[in-house]
Amino acid sequence: MTKSSGKDIWSRLWAPHRRSYILDEAGQFDENSCPFCLATQLSDEDGLIVFRGSDCYVVMNKYPYNTGHLLVCTYRHIAWYDEITDPERDEMSALTKRAVEILRQTVGARGFNIGLNQGDIAGAGVAGHIHQHVVPRWANDINFMPIIGQTKVMSELIEDTRIKISDAWAGH
C-alpha cells in the first residue's frame, strides 16, 4: 500500500461479483465450481466463449488485463501442462496462433503477452484448470490511469468485443 502524508492514496474499485472466485482458497476449484468448466455448459454468449474446438476452447477473460484478453482452455479440468494430451497441446497451440491473428484483425493489437501461470504460487487465479492467456497490447496502452489513478480503463464492453472476435473466428 502506498502512503503519502499518512493517507492511503490508492483508490478502491469495489467488485463484489469477484467474491465467488476468491471464496475457494487459492483458486482450487473442482469441476463443479470451476468457472472454465461452468462456462462450457452455458451458451457462447453467456459463457463469453469465442470458439469451441474438439479438445480446447477460447473464452474471453472476464477480468481482462486489456480489451480482447482471451484464454485458451482445455475442456478437461486439469491443472498442469504435463497433464495435457498431445492433441490438447496441439489444439491449444493452434488456437493461440489463431487468437493472435484474430486479435490483430479485430482489435488492431500490435503486440501480445502469451503465457501460462501454473499453480497458485505462480499467480494462476484458477489454478486447477489449465488455461493460456493471450493478452493484446498496443503502443501507449499503459497511461496515467494505472500509474497515477491505479485504475485500468477498458475501451469496449466485453460482450461487444466477444461478438467481434467470434464473428471473425467464424468467418475464417
Residues involved in catalysis: 131
Distance CA 93, CA 83 (A): 15
How is residue 63 annotated by DSSP? S
Phi and psi at residue 97, to the nearest 5°: -60, -45
Distance CA 17, CA 165 (A): 25
* DSSP string of 107-154, one letter each residue: S---EEEEEE--SGGGT-TTTTS-EEEEEEE-TT-S-HHHHHS-----
